[in-house]
Every structure is written in C-alpha cells, then in structure tokens.
Structure 1
Amino acid sequence: MAKQNEGSKGDPLIIGVRPATQDTNLSRKKPKTRKALKDEAFSPNDDTPRPKDKPPGKDGLPPIELYYEPVRKKQREVRYTPFLLIRSAAGDIGSRPLPSGTVFWHSPDVWVRSSHGINQPVADEPNQMFCRVSNRGRMDAGWVHIRYWWANPSLAITEASANLVGTADTYLPAGQSRVVECPTPWVPVIENDGHECILAEAWCPSLDPLLAPLDPVIDRHAGQKNLHVMQVAGGEQLKFTVEVANIAPTTQPVLIHARWIGGKEALAAVTAGNIGLTNRELTAAANAVPVRLHLADEGIIQLMPQTTYARRLLALQTAGIGWNCRSTGGTEVEATLRGGEIRRLTIAAEVPQDFRTGSIFGYELTQRQGDFVTGGYTLYVLVVD
C-alpha cells in the first residue's frame, strides 16, 4: 500500500516495498503471483543468498525492505489577471453575488459634482460625473473601459431604463485606484428637477470582462448611487416620486417598504464625504416623521431584459438572504404588476413646524419581488429656513 511522505529535501516521496533478495526470476514485465513466490521460497533449489539479519517471514516469502522514490508533481500554470472593482459600499472587496437585502445603491465610487456641491445635481446645467475604479488584481489593466449612465429615480434599474452619458478609457496598474471623470458633461432633465440615479461600469475587455451589465448584485464591475437630499422648510410638505418596476417577464407581486432613517444613522450618512453636506451644521431630527406611500393604479409596459430576473434568482440560491432583507416597522404598500410594468410611487410627509434649521432625517425605500430585493432609493430631508 502506497503512502505519501516528505523527504529530507522537501520532495514528496512514495514508500513502497521490494524483495530484499536479488532473485533474477522476479521479472518487472511479468510479476509473479504470491503463490509462486511462496513455492520458490520453500524450493530446495533456491540458491539465492539471504542476509543473516533478515530471516524469511512466517509465510516463507523473501523479507521486504522499504525504498523511497520521489514523485514529480506537475507544476500548475499560474495566470495573473486584473481584478477591477467599483465598490457597492465601504469595505466591499468584490465578492459577488451579494446576499439579497444588501444595500447596493450607495456606491462611494460613483458621484456627481455640480454648482451646488457633491451629489447634488442641478437640472438644465452641465454636471460632472466621476467614477473611482480599483484594480485588486496582480496584473496591470492596460485598457479599462468605463461607461457612465443616468436613470430616472427608480427602485429597479435595468439596461432598459438607463441612459448613456459618455465613455472613457484609462490605464490602471495592479493594486491601485484611479478617479476618472466622464469627458461628456451630464445635463439632468428639468422634469425630475435633477433627481436622478447615476451608474457606472468599468471593465477590461480582454482580461476582466463585464458579466452582468448595470447589475451591482451580480457584477463587481458595476456601481450605482440612488440617493438624493431634499431641502424642505419646517411646516411644509415634502413630496417625492420614484418609479416601481416589475423586472420579471410575468405578473408578479411587488412589495415596497419605507424605513425611517433618523438619529445618529442619518447624521453619519449625510456628513460622509460621498454625499457632500460636510460644510453645514446639522443635527439629527428629534422625532420620527410619518410617511405616506401612494402607488399609481396603472402604469406603462416596458420591455425588460429577462436575464436580469433570472440572474437574481440564481444569486438568491448562491448567496442567500442578507440579514437586513426583512425589515421590521415602517410603511409598506403592495401591488401586483404585469411583466415589465412601471408605475409611479409618491412619497409624502409633513415636516413638523418645530424642527429647527439643520435637522436631518430620511427614508430608505426598498422593492422586493419574492425573497429578493430588486433595488432601492434613499431620500434624505434637510430642514432649511
């Protein structure tokens, strides 16, 4: 029986057995049976000399001794490639797919700059879009192709609902990150008052290709930011509209959940560098502000890529459900939408009169179809004079 061991020089060895005698009748090409060896051991014509310190065994067979033979392992070819990443959140290392329920629409690597500051797009004027791409691989990315997109505020963004802004190319050495500006200015439409979603994709066509376009859940090459900061005076009503879409090709129930964001969570979020409210004096809202959700009864039908829904179902089997997928509390609305149907969802709330200037709070909207989250949108409200 063979057994693997380590030799003195680090080479793997095989321990085997061989007869101690030098019997020339033992042919390598045609080994004799155990019975034949036993018969020869008791044969009176056996003139093979036997070592005095190695007597025959109990069955009369020639004694055995160990021998070592190095085994040459086949060297596996090592192939290095780039590993491009647009993070979905701080601390993202590129593991995909993401568990269902993970907030993937707060990418810190995609942002816009306007005359009002960072991540505060202004309608009807040029805005600059930026994307930070990281190469976590061990090979330089000689050609990194980047695409910049915008979409209407939506809880489920696909290729069908996104609009291309521009493209860029860059070189990215291994182990480095680079911020690349879109060479084409983005002019948000007045219809939504600049409240848009921005996305970016970055991949190396030859060595690190794009796998799932505009889907950060499946592909680390895509990043998405669905976030907006509204300014509302105390005592006034806030109203915001987003789209709800059924990304499945068949009729499906869709659940929308609105979670209150207040206290330290909202304050820490809006003062982060990727939102752009660091130059203001802010305080957390003292009390929760109830929110009302109204979903339109009818919508439009848009042709959706069926691969998006199929990929999400497969990801649910692979990555499972995240810890925050099933939120508790808040406000919910549910409806059954036809395949590819898009409806308008209105978020409304009354800002208390006693909220002082600089108070901040928000709502996190998520859309679910079955056990997986299709997308979300985060709305922060800043109380002004």
Structure 2
Amino acid sequence: MVDVPQDDPPPRPKTSDLPPWKVGKPKPGDPGEVPWFRGKIGDINRNGPTFGPRKDEYLPFLLVRAASADRGNRPFSGVFWESPDIFVAPNLDADSAPLMPPTTGGIAKANIANTLYAHVWNLGKAPAYRVRVEFYWFNPSLGITRADANLIGAAWVDLGNRFTIDSAWHEVHASYGRWLTRGSHAIVRCPETWIPRIENNGHECLVVRAFEPILDSVPVNQFSASADRHVAQRNISVVEAASPASIDLALNLGYADAPSEAEVEVEVEGPANMEWLQLYAGKRITDYRTPAAQVVAGLLPPTVVNARSITLEHVASECRPHLLKRRERFHRGCDPLRINFHATADLQKHEAHVLRIRQRVGSDVIGGYSVVLLK
C-alpha cells in the first residue's frame, strides 16, 4: 500500500493569456514600480502564482514538428501526418548506423533492417534534460491510438533552451545515449533495429513521441499529432512506377470514442503541394510535375478488420473506376473497421501524383495517410 497525502489531486495552477509580470507594470524608473512589484509578491503569497503562456515561462517547450513551419500550436489544422522530423534509413542496422541519417527521404523496406531517426526541438526558455524519445510503428491506419502501438525503441537526449543555437552539428556522448545536437534541437537515432512486416510491404505508419517526464510530459494514451506537440506521425507510402504505378492498401480506421457518423475521402493533389517530397528528392526545388494522365484512385466500402482484404490488381484496368469511390460515408459502431484503397497511374519520367486519404468524424480530421505515385 502507498499512502497518499490527500484523496484529491492538487489543483491545477492558474494561468493567464498574458505573462502576469507584464500586466500593469510601470515603466522602469517610475515611482510606482516598487509598489507594483510588492503587490505582485503579496498576491502570490495570498493566492499562489499565476502562469502565463508556457513559451514565456522558464520551462521547456518540446516539439516534434508536423510541418516545417510548425511552432507547436495545437490543435494543428493542416496535414499533420507528413512530419519532416522522422527519417528512415533502409538496409542499415541500428548498431552500425551513423548518428546522422544518410538520407532524409528514405523509404522503409519490408523484411530487412531499417534504422529510424527523429529530429526533436526545444522552443522553451529552459533547457530540457533526459528527454525521452520513443519510436513506434503501426499497421497502416487512419486512426492511430495506443491500442495498436508497437514500441520499437526509445532514446534519451538533452536539449538547450531556444536561445542555444550552435553553428554546426556536433556529437554528444553521455552515459544514457549518443546524439547529434545544435543546441536547442537534436537528431536522435533509435537504438533498436526495425524490421517491417512483409505483409505490410513497408507501408507502416511511424510515430515519434518526445517528452520530459516531469516538466513537459505527455499523457500515456496520447498518440495524436494534431492534438499534441510531443507527437509526430509519418504516414506516407511512396510507389515508384513500374508499368504502371499501382498500390492496394488496407487502412485500419482505429477505435471510435463513441458510435458516430464518419467519412473517408481521397484527395488528389499535385507534387508542389507536398512539402515532404523535398526531403525525398534531397533538394528544395523538386523536378516532379503533375502528370497529364488521370489517376485511377478511390475506396472500397469499409469492412470489419478481420475480413479478407480485397485487391484490384487482377481486375481489368477499365473496370476499376466503376468499383471505387473518392468518398465513403458510413456509421461507426463499436467494431474496429478497415477500408481498402486502390490507386494506379501511367506516369512519365519526373511525374508524381499525391493522394491524401483523410478520415473525418463530424468536422474533425482524426487521421490521414498519404500515397505518392511517382517516376
């Protein structure tokens, strides 16, 4: 038995939209400056402290980005499943992999060794020590939750505050890990090798969580990159054209909080609208252009998870468009569901289709997955 000092948890600290030390503060040298300061101290003694926005307090502000311009504001309203901070190095064992990822656009390969990396940030005024960085894989999904999480490995890293900016990467060797740092941000290598399952063909979703257990923690069940800055997702499949580029993908829909109406849709976009392709190509301006030929892409009706997955690879190409829908609306009950996606396209050199699949419940996007067909 563990004795706790009280039955109820301690009250949450008071917060304000403005830093309390700035509210009503007289100008330096003003006769009212000292009385104002004494009044603030008295208020803290009587009522306890009031904290301003976290970024203005002496606290760490940890982040794994959802996009390059991400500064940690949540909920994140854009495409949150194409993180630029998660890297894969195929054909590399974690024990022999370098600290710097050899590529930023590597694609996972099934049934062989892959090494994962994460780029983690501290945008707070205080440094962060012993930050835990966790690496997970999930079956292809439009609804990532803890129930389906598969932990690959975890690493530890120290981060300076947001004012600590080094001019170049340098190695840190500590008793609890090794990493590359530039002060307020660092690249961390997962210490465990990941071997993707052959049945997923390397299309798994990857999730990274970065948190400091005391000063900047994350809830145990939190795996939503749109809701929490500590979490990042990389749900991307790249299909390089053979003749033609084609993919059949079974996507889990996760677990519903309550029975509800849901919608899954497919959106076709040009390569210029996908920032992550810059990492894949290794340069800011890519050579990919929107194909002249239309892509055949869409969804089959949802089924329960354990039902046999239906593929269209052996269906005549002229019949496929009649079997697919760009949008499926349905009622979600308690059973976990799966939806099958298919896409095929004839491509010329340097052409690419970007297909984004979203699941909505009400007006909220609760999950997404991106498929890139390119040549």
What TM-score results when the alignment is normalised by the length of structure 2?
0.69
Alignment deviations for residues 303-322 of structure 1 (CA, whole Å, 9 cap, x no partner):
xxxxxxxxxxxxxxxxxxxx
Q: What is the distance in 2 between the residues matched to 1:154 and 1:183?
A: 25
Seq. identity, %:
28
Structure 2 counterpart of 1:74, from 40, 61, 69 = 40
C-alpha separation between the residues in 2 aligned to 1:7 and 1:86?
38
Q: Is the 8 Å Cα contact of residues 62 and 122 (structure 2) preserved in structure 1?
A: yes
Match of 1:85 among 60, 63, 71: 63
Cα deviation code 1:163-184 (max 9, x no counterpart): 1000111111112100000000
Distance 1:298 1:83, change over 3 A: closer
What SS does the aligned partner of 1:295 have? coil
CA–CA separation in structure 1 for the residues paired with 2:143 and 2:27? 60
Residue of structure 2 equivalent to 1:128: 115
Partner of 1:143: 130
With over 3 angstroms needed to count, the CA separation of the structure-2 counterparts of 1:245 and 1:282, relative to structure 1, is closer
Asked whether the equivalents of residues 263 and 286 of structure 1 are also in contact (C-alpha less than 8 Å), the reply is no
Give how far 1:83 is off: 0.9
Q: Which is higher, the Rg of structure 1 or of structure 2?
A: 1
Q: Which runs of 5+ in 1 are unaligned?
A: 14-68, 302-329
Q: Deviations over 1:81-114 (max 9, x none)?
A: 1111111111111112234xx2110111112111
Deviates more, 1:85-94 or 1:75-84: 75-84
Distance 1:343 1:263, change over 3 A: closer
Q: 1:103 aligns with which of 79, 85, 88?
A: 79
Separation in 1, partners of 2:287, 2:214? 48
CA separation in 2, counterparts of 1:125 and 1:377?
Answer: 23
Give 3-state SS (helix, strand or coil) of 2:343's partner.
strand
Q: How does 1:21-36 map to 2 (within 5 A)?
A: none
> Residue 368 of structure 1 contacts residue 374 of structure 1 at CA under 8 Å; is this kept in 2?
yes
User: TM-score, normalised on structure 1?
Assistant: 0.67
CA drift of 1:244 comes to 3.6
Q: How far apart are 1:153 and its partner, in Å?
A: 1.1
AA partner of residue 88 (structure 2): V
Equivalent pairs, count: 288
- The answer to whether the Cα contact below 8 Å between 2:130 and 2:156 also exists between their aligned partners in 1 is yes
Matched, 1:184 2:192: yes
- Alignment pair present for 1:154 and 2:149: no
Match of 1:370 among 354, 362, 374: 362
Cα–Cα, structure 1 residues 284 and 277, in superposed 2: closer, same or farther, change >3 Å?
farther
Extract structure 1 runs of 4+ deviating beyond 4 A: 4-9, 76-79, 276-281
Mapped to 1, the partners of 2:202 and 2:306 lie a distance apart of: 22
**Could you tell me how far 1:340 is from its partner in structure 2?**
4.4
Q: CA deviation at 1:193?
A: 0.9
Contact 1:252 1:339 survives alignment (8 Å) = no
CA distance in 1, matches of 2:276, 2:343: 22
Letter in 2 for 1:129: L
For 1:7 and 1:286, how far apart are their aligned partners in 2? Answer: 64
| Cα shift readout 1:359-379 (whole Å, capped 9, x = no counterpart) | 211211000111111110010
Aligned AA (2:340): L
Partner of residue 288, structure 1: 294
What does 1:191-230 align with in structure 2 at a 5 Å threshold?
Answer: 191-211=199-219, 213-230=222-239
Q: How has the CA–CA distance of structure 1 residues 246 and 225 changed in structure 2, closer, same or farther, with 3 Å as cutoff?
A: closer
- In structure 2, what is the equivalent of residue 113 of structure 1? 89
Mapping of residues 351-362 of structure 1, within 5 Å? 351-352=345-346, 355-362=347-354
CA deviation digits over 1:252-276, x for unaligned, max 9?
Answer: 222111011226335x652x12x34
Contact 1:246 1:339 in 2 (8 A): no
Q: Residues 5 and 276 from structure 1, CA distance in 2 versus in 1: closer, same or farther, beyond 3 angstroms?
A: closer
User: Which deviations, in whole Å up to 9, do the C-alpha atoms of 1:279-329 show, x marking residues without a partner?
Assistant: 99644312432323113433359xxxxxxxxxxxxxxxxxxxxxxxxxxxx
> For residues 189-244 of structure 1, what are the alpha-carbon distances to aligned partners after superposition, in whole Å with 9 as ceiling and x for unaligned?
1011111111100111111111362111221111111111102234x361321324
What is residue 335 of structure 1 aligned with on the other side?
330
2:260 to 238, 247, 252: 252
The residue type equivalent to 2:205 in the other structure is C
Does the Cα contact within 8 Å between 1:152 and 1:242 map onto a contact in 2? Answer: no
SS in 1 for 2:146: coil
